[in-house]
């Protein structure tokens, strides 16, 4: 079967079919590894009523901040929205956002379970806390655990360092973070990269995200925040 | 140093709490430091020790902060601060970072605290009644999985209320997870039979520490003073 062309000419073309009401997960942590150019594409498109899964909720206008500023998001799953997430906090305080706070490592495992075809799993994290409310509890090998469901989304928007034309990805330093997990958990995974190289140019030993998890690739340089 | 009020004695500063907590780290340890006072601890590690600091955004073997002009926006810690790497450092994905925390692979974890109970329950992510959404971050995974969890915090709240309580009243991070508490007044270990007062801040008596601690503190005879190089009487 011939390889499908995954390479898009522009950010706007890569997100053109994202509909109102879509659920989207975004890679990134602490300013590194956010798909900032794809986020700007969603801002330009003006798509509304988005459900978002992300560790953080922006820093001022940066990262996801612009989408909260534009009131494009009405529900969020996050581990640490962040004190610098000015527009998220405003929207949340005004009652315009439904928020589910998730322990960061459990967010990872729920994404990983989705990608791995595991609908739910038991975990000791959050037992006896607000996180356990409404969840089935069971004692497993003497330890209290709660049932956590896997977590997917219509789209995963991620940032990688380099892709080959097939969609194999490598990352740069701590900008890796959630990106490989979200690549595996989204129905349609769109990656922005600094550079696309010819298929075969990446060392197979070094590939972090195999191409099977990547559906669209777009080159985007420039927009970063620290 | 800040003033204790009634006794007119000086409590330790946040930096001095960090200085004392650093003495709990053995050479060669893998360690995660949380927000707040824990983030000050790296500066007090003895110069001849190598500590492999873990950052939950996917780094093991994090070195000091990057010098001005040498920052890399893809090489930051969990607080967004540009950092450096030690020889032998590794990058990995977020799930692996938390396999290390939750799976009990790190030697020591140190978190900030809002309240700790006498059973070692920790509350550290939200003060009820404050605006905003709060944020759990990695704290629940870290607290649940830590083989040895140290909490650093001020001994009392700004209004003087004890933060070491029989039962936490703030939203919990994890149950029965804290092993040692280092404050501006004491070092306290959480044991099966209750809280054990291991050290007091220079110039303070066990009775003075007990007076601002809700549960009973266990101690006998002379309780040594916290060894703080920069302490003043």
At residue B99, the pLDDT reads 98
Domain harbouring A70, CATH code: 3.40.1080.10
Asked if the structure places residue A106 within a domain, the reply is yes
Residue-wise pLDDT for B96-107, tens only, equals 999 999 999 999
Radius of gyration of chain A (CA): 18
CA B50, CA B26: separation in Å to the nearest integer?
9
Q: Is residue A107 part of a domain?
A: yes
* Residue pair B159/B165 in contact by the 8 Å Cβ criterion: no
A136-173, pLDDT tens digit by residue?
Answer: 999 999 999 999 999 999 999 999 999 999 999 999 99
Domains in chain B, please, with CATH? 2-218 (3.40.1080.10)
Which of A62, A125, A194 to mutate to probe the B interface, most B CBs <10 Å?
A125
Q: Which residue is listed with tokens 């060392």? A: A203
> Quick one: pLDDT at residue B143?
98
pLDDT of residue A2: 58
* Residue A138: strand pairing partners: A145
Inside any domain, residue A211: yes
Rounded to a whole number, what is the distance in Å from the CA of B29 to chain A's nearest CA?
21
Kindly provide the residue ranges of all beta strands, DSSP E only, lying in B10-119, ordered along the sequence.
10-11, 30-33, 52-55, 59-65, 83-91, 108-112, 115-117
CB A196 within 8 A of CB A219: yes
Contacts of B84 (CB under 8 A, 6+ apart): B62, B63, B64, B65, B66, B70, B75
Domain, as residue range, for A95: 11-120+152-219
- The answer to whether position A143 is within a domain reads no
Average pLDDT, chain A: 95
Q: Compute the CA torsion angle B5, B10, B12, B15 (nearest 10 deg).
A: 100
What pLDDT, on the 0 to 100 scale, is given for residue B232?
52
Instruction: State the burial class of residue B159 (Cβ atoms within 10 Å of its Cβ: 0-12, 13-18, 19+).
Output: exposed
Name residue A36's beta-bridge partners. none
CB of A210 within 8 Å of a chain B CB? The answer is: no
Contact (CB<8Å) B57/A30: yes
The number of folded domains in chain A is: 1
Contacting A with CB below 8 Å, chain B residues are 55-59, 71-80, 82, 91-95, 97-99, 101-102, 121, 131-141, 144-145, 171-175
ipTM: 0.95
Helix count (H) and strand count (E) of chain A?
A: 6, 11
Is A196 domain-assigned? yes
Q: A128 in a domain, yes or no?
A: no
pLDDT of residue B79: 87
Mean pLDDT across A111-132: 98
Say whether residue A149 is in contact with chain B using an 8 A CB cutoff.
no
- pLDDT score at B166: 98
Low-confidence ranges of chain B (pLDDT < 50): 1-3, 233
**A102, part of any domain:** yes
Please report, rounded to a whole number, the percentage of residues in chain B having pLDDT higher than 90. Answer: 89
């Amino acid at each position: 079967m011939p390889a499908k062309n995954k390479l898009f000419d522009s950010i706007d073309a890569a997100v053109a079919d994202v509909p109102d009401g879509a659920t989207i997960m975004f890679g990134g942590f602490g300013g590194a590894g956010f798909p900032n150019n794809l986020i700007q594409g969603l801002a330009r498109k003006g798509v509304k009523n988005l459900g978002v899964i992300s560790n953080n909720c922006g820093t001022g206008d940066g990262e996801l901040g612009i989408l909260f500023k534009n009131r494009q998001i009405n529900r969020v799953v996050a581990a640490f929205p962040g004190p610098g997430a000015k527009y998220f906090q405003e929207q949340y305080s005004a009652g315009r956002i439904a928020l589910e706070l998730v322990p960061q490592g459990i967010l990872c495992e729920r994404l990983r379970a989705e990608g791995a075809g595991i609908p739910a799993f038991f975990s000791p994290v959050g037992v006896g806390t607000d996180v356990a409310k409404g969840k089935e509890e069971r004692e497993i090998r003497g330890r209290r655990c709660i049932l956590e469901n896997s977590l997917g989304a219509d789209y995963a928007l991620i940032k990688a360092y380099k892709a080959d034309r097939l969609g194999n990805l490598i990352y740069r330093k701590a900008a890796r973070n959630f990106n490989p997990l979200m690549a595996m958990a989204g129905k349609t995974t769109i990656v922005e990269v600094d550079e696309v190289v010819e298929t075969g140019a990446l060392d197979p030993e070094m590939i972090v995200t195999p191409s099977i998890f990547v559906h669209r690739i777009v080159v985007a340089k420039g927009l970063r925040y620290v | 140093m800040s003033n204790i009020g009634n006794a007119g004695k000086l409590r330790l500063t946040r930096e001095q709490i960090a200085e004392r907590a650093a003495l709990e780290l053995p050479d060669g340890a893998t360690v995660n430091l949380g927000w707040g006072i824990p983030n000050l601890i790296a500066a007090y590690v003895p110069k001849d020790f190598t500590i492999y600091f873990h950052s939950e955004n996917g780094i093991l073997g994090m070195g000091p902060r990057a010098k001005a002009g040498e920052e890399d926006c893809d090489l930051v810690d969990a607080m967004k601060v540009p950092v450096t790497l030690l020889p032998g450092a590794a990058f990995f994905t977020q799930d692996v970072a938390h396999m290390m925390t939750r799976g009990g692979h790190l030697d020591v974890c140190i978190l900030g605290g809002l309240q700790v109970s006498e059973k070692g329950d920790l509350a550290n992510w939200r003060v009820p009644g404050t605006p905003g959404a709060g944020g759990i971050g990695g704290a629940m995974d870290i607290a649940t999985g830590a083989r040895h969890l140290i909490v650093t915090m001020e001994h009392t709240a700004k209004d003087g209320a004890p933060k070491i309580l029989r039962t936490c009243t703030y939203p919990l991070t994890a149950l029965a997870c804290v092993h040692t508490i280092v404050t501006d007044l004491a070092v306290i270990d959480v044991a099966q039979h209750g809280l054990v007062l291991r050290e007091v801040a220079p110039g303070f008596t066990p009775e003075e520490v007990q007076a601002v601690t809700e549960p009973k503190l266990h101690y006998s005879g002379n309780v040594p003073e916290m060894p703080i190089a920069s302490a003043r009487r």
